[in-house]
Every structure is written in C-alpha cells, then in structure tokens.
Amino acid sequence: MSEQQRQGQPYYYRLLNCLSVRNKIVAVCLVASLFAMTFASSIFVYYQYSAFQGWLVQNVTSQAEIIARNASAALAFNDPEGAEVILQSLQAVESITGAVLFRDDGTILTKWRRGGSDKMPELAPNWRGDRNEAGEIFISLPVVEKGVLFGTILLRSNQQELLVFLGNSLIAMGILLFLAVGMTLLLSTRLLGIILEPVAHLAGVMKQVSERQEYSLRALRYSQDEIGELTDFFNDMLTQVENRDRQIREREELLQAIINNTNSVIFLKDLSGCYLLVNRRFKEVLLLKQPEVIGYMDGDLFPSDIADNLKALDQQVMGSGQLAEAEEVLPHHDGPHTYISAKFLLFDSSGKPYALCGISTDITKRKQIEEMMVQTEKMMSVGGLAAGMAHEINNPLGIMIQAVQNIKRRVSSDLPANEKVAGELGVSLAGVQAYLEKRMVLSMVDDIYGAGMRAARIVTNMLQFSRRSESASQYAMVTDLIDQTVELAANDYDLKKKYDFRHISIIREYDPAVQKVKLVVTEFEQVILNLLKNGAQAFADKEMAEGEVPTITIRVLPDGDHTRIEVADNGPGIPPEVRKRVFEPFFTTKPVGSGTGLGLSVSYMIITNNHSGTMEVESVPGDGAVFIIRLPNSDGSL
C-alpha cells in the first residue's frame, strides 16, 4: 500500500494499524461486545419502556373509569361539592396530578390538581381517548349511566414512575455493559493465549530465520485452523528456501573452488578500480606491497609503472565496453612474470556496467618455450651452416698448419738435412736462425701456428655443434660426474686465468633419491665444465660486497620422470636482452679473443639434441644466474 493510500484511510483505521495483533483483537472484541450489548439492552429497555408506558396508561384509564362511575350521581344532580370530594380521592394516586369533570354540555362541573402541579390545559370537552403530551398522559372518558351521558372525566398523570423505571433500566444496562467489558477482557485475555501463541511462535521463528539466516529451523503447528495451515505453508517455504540456499551455496563453493584452484589470476574490480574479489592465486603468486587486497587499487598494491599499465588496459575496456586482451608484466616473488590478461565488463539486468572482471594467465613458461623453440630452430639452421663452413675451412686450415709446422722444421737444427742445404748455399744455419729470431719471424710463425690451432678447435666445436655424437652412452650417476668435473675445473688454466677457482665456494646439494641417468659421460662433463667456467668468469664482472663470497651452487634432484641439475651463481646476473641470445652460436659478451661464443651453444645442443633433455636459464640482473638442465630418466632416444 502506497503512502498516499495510507494517508487516505480513516483516522481510526490508521490508529488500529498502529496496535499490536493482541491489542487489535482485544479492541475488536470490546467494540463488538459493547455494540451487541448496547443494541440488545436498548431494544430491551425500549420494549420495557413501551410496556410500562402502556401499563401506566392502563392504570390512569382504570382510575378514570372509577371516577366516572362514582361521579355520575354528582353530574346527574349537578353537585359540584360532591364531585370535588370524589376528585379529592385521587390524592392517594401520586402519579395523577390533576382532574376535570365536565357536564354533558361541556361546561366544567369541578376540577382538581395536585399542589405544585401546573394548571390543567384546556382540552375540548368532546375529546375522548388518551394522549401523551409534554411528558404527561391525558385520559378522557365519558361518564355514562344506564346508557345516559352525564359528562366527561379528564385525568392528567405525570410519567415519574416511567422515568424512574427508565433510569433504573439505564443503570442496570450500564452495569451489564461494565460486566460485559470485564468478561470480554477476561475471556479475550484467556482465549488470546490460545489464538496468539502459535502466531507468536511463528513470528519468533521468522525473526530467527531473518536474523541468523538459518533456514533449517521449523515452526511447530499448534492447531488445525488457518494458522496451522499458515505454519505448514511457512515450513514448506523454508524447505524450498533451504534447498535453494544449499544449491546456491554448493554452486558458490564449486565456483570458488574452480576460481581458487585455477592457475590463472582472477579478479573483480568496481568501476573506480577498487578490488572487490580476488582468487587465492592472486595473493599466492603476485608480489604485493601489502597483504590486504579487497578495497584497494592497483596503485596501492603494485609499483607505479606496473599500476599505470594495468590501469591503461582497464580504461580501454571501460571506454569500449568490449573484451580486451593484452600482455601484462606482474611482479612475482621469483621475478617478473608475463601474463596474458582478458578483461571485460559485467552488466546488470538493465544493461548498466557495474564491475570489471579480469582473467590473467601466466605465459612466462610458454614464452620461454617459444624462445627455446626459436633458439632450437635457429641453432639447427646455424648447425647446418656450421657443418658446411667447418668442412670448407678445415682443408685450407690443415694446409696452413702443416705449412707452419714444415717452416719450423726447415729451420730447426735437429734435422741434418737443414745443415746440409745451408752449407751448399754457403750460409750458416745458426746465422739463419739468428736472423729469423732477430727479425721475429719465428715468433710470427708461432703466432700463426697458435691462431691456426685455435681455429682448428673452433672448427672441431662447430662440427660437434652440427652433428649428433656417436659416442656410446651409459648409465651413470650425474652426481659422481659433477664431482669429477669440479675437480677438473679447479686445475683448468683458463679458469684460473679469469678467476682463481680456489676463491670460489662450491656448494653441492644432492637429493639422495636421484637415480642413474643414461648419458654420454664426456659430453655431460663438457656441459658442466662450460657452466662452471662461465660462472667463474662472470665473477670478474661483479664487485663483491664486504663479507660476500663468490659461490656456485650445484643442485641435483628428481623432477618427475626427469633428473634436474641446477648450476647457480651469485654473480652479476644476465640482462634480459642477453638471456634471450645466450644459447645462440657465436654470441658472446666477452672481449674479442676471450671466447668463441660456442660454449653454451654446444652445451645446449648436447643436452637437447643428444640427450633429449631441456636446458634453460633464469636470471635477475644483480642476483646471479641459474642454468637448469632436465635429463630424462629413461634412455629416450640415446
């Protein structure tokens, strides 16, 4: 009901609506009983009043008849004194206040009135019957004797007895009404307990359900009436609501379980950018500035540059109203991760947007795999080129090295033929040697020989890079091979040349559950040696803090159906742009002449191509690098 309709109701109706059910019922009972008793009493009093009034008229009429019989002689003899004596007898009847005796010609023979009463009204002498006028009763009867009319008797009577009777009746009716009200209150109070107890119980259960949202409660049925039916309907409604609430709760729990157990980050924001909901993974994987998320914005949770990027995509979605996807970089505890984020608006039933939902999937591993696939394809292409180049370079390189060796042999005093030819030419072999030494020719020849041998090693590495090893594979404990390689690295001249290996702390973390792996021992040792050498050389580019010790940590542990080998250092780390190219052939950050750029490339091909494993690198600039090798426990394609 509207407020306008409510204001249009009668005042008593609005007042009744303000009362409690108990008071309403009591009020209705009182009004009904008062009306019924008043109506019944009024009818009864009216009936008694009419009956008493008739009796009073009859009584006055009887008195008039007595006077008429007694006054006939006085009228016949025209005796006013005798007639007056007869009228004086009415003094004994208190209700009669006056009397007039008329002759047959209408003249007054005599009249009488009670002391203090009003003067008798003048009525027509020929009027007969009774009349109620001004609260008084008038009775007029003819005085007849043996059929002869002698005159008329007129009596006047007050209604004092009628008024007394009426007053007593009203008092009795008031007492009766009072008793009726008392009985109504008493009975209604007793009966209301029976009527309102189930209503109060039902209202109490409703209140508990409303306050506690506990739909398993049920109301007791007290009676078989409409309230009992209402109780049954309410319990049925609670059963339906409970079932629906349980279904909704189960669906919410299922949805929440799906949201919380998915690998994607799921969140919900209002249109101002405040978070309304986040799943468990949001808090678990993202590096947040504070633990609480709900009610906060991106600027409160992330660095300003990341928050600005997130906000830009949000504004794009809210501006277009369409789904938008983009890559976003979010901070993790282990470094930045790349996410592909899909964001879209949520609309209410009227089509108005009220929230922004986002689903972000971590694609860091996928991008690394894509990079590795690109790297593998690139290296396979370069491998074919390297094989051709190696074969083409190897032939003239062999001739050059052989020629350099022959030059050194032709000037050596160890061969008698050299002395003989020098004598034939009239020169001294020692003089020739002195000349060549003086002019640094022999030193140049040594440089040519050294460069040639270095080129030969490069060609050998290129050939190793370009073809699958034909060496025999065998089952071996990688931990034993790593220990042997560490001992070998400690005696490596180049390693000492760049950094004294004795000043590097080597930490070995081997899981006892590691099993033997089928591999080519020499190739695996070559990979580990390359990693140790690169790690040791990297320390030359970092100035260690006071108390910080250069450390290489080697971990070996099971990883599903693979064995995982990690070689980590606390060196300067690898910048992202370098990390993407670290396995490319001939790519190096070392000065010219310090490296060939094939060490990690060859290691990558040995692991991925020859051993069907994977090799990757993780690094945060300034916090060192970790090379991760995963070798299959089965023999794979070896």
pLDDT of 87 reads 84
Q: Which tokens sit at 397?
A: 């390189």
pLDDT at 626: 93
Following DSSP, what letter does each residue of 383-395 receive, concatenated?
HHHHHHHHHHHHH
Classified as helix, coil or strand, 279 is coil
Distance (Å, whole) CA 630 – CA 608:
9
Task: Give the whole-angstrom CA distance, residue 344 versus residue 268.
Answer: 10
Q: Whole-angstrom Cα distance, residue 638 to residue 628?
A: 20
Chain centre distance of CA 52:
84
- Which pLDDT value is given to residue 388? 66
Distance CA 343, CA 319 (A): 12
Residue pointed to by tokens 């694609």: 363
d(CA 332, CA 326): 18
- Give me the pLDDT at residue 94, please: 80
pLDDT of residue 417: 84
SS3 label, residue 581: coil
506 touches 536 (CB < 8 A): no
Q: How far apart are CA 495 and CA 528, in angstroms?
A: 13
Q: In the prediction, which pLDDT does 381 show?
A: 56
pLDDT tens, residue by residue, 56-85: 888 888 888 888 888 888 888 888 888 888
Which structure tokens are listed for 447?
A: 């440089």
CA distance 529 to 54: 142
Residue type, 320: S
Q: Which ranges of the chain have pLDDT less than 50?
A: 465, 468-469, 493-497, 592-593, 636-638
DSSP 243-288: HHHHHHHHHHHHHHHHHHHSSSEEEEE-TTS-EEEE-HHHHHHB--
Residues 6+ apart with CB under 8 A from 244: none
Cα(463)–Cα(587) distance, integer angstroms: 17
- Tell me, what's the pLDDT at 104? 83
Judge contact between 356 and 345, C-beta under 8 A. Answer: yes
CA atoms lying within 13 Å on the CB side of residue 33:
19
| Selection from 279, 359, 256, 264 nearest residue 317 by Cα | 359
Assess contact for 320 and 344: CB atoms under 8 A: no
For the chain, the first-to-last Cα distance in angstroms comes to 86
Q: Which amino acid is at 487?
A: E
Residue 349 has a pLDDT of 87
Assigned token pair, 207: 């209140």
Determine contact, residues 124/108, Cβ cutoff 8 Å: no
Is there a contact between 557 and 633 (Cβ–Cβ < 8 Å)? no
Pairing relation of β-strands 335-347 and 324-332? antiparallel
What's the pLDDT at 27? 74
Residue 254 pLDDT: 86
Comparing CA positions, the residue from 255, 281, 277, 253 lying closest to residue 361 is 281
Give the pTM: 0.41
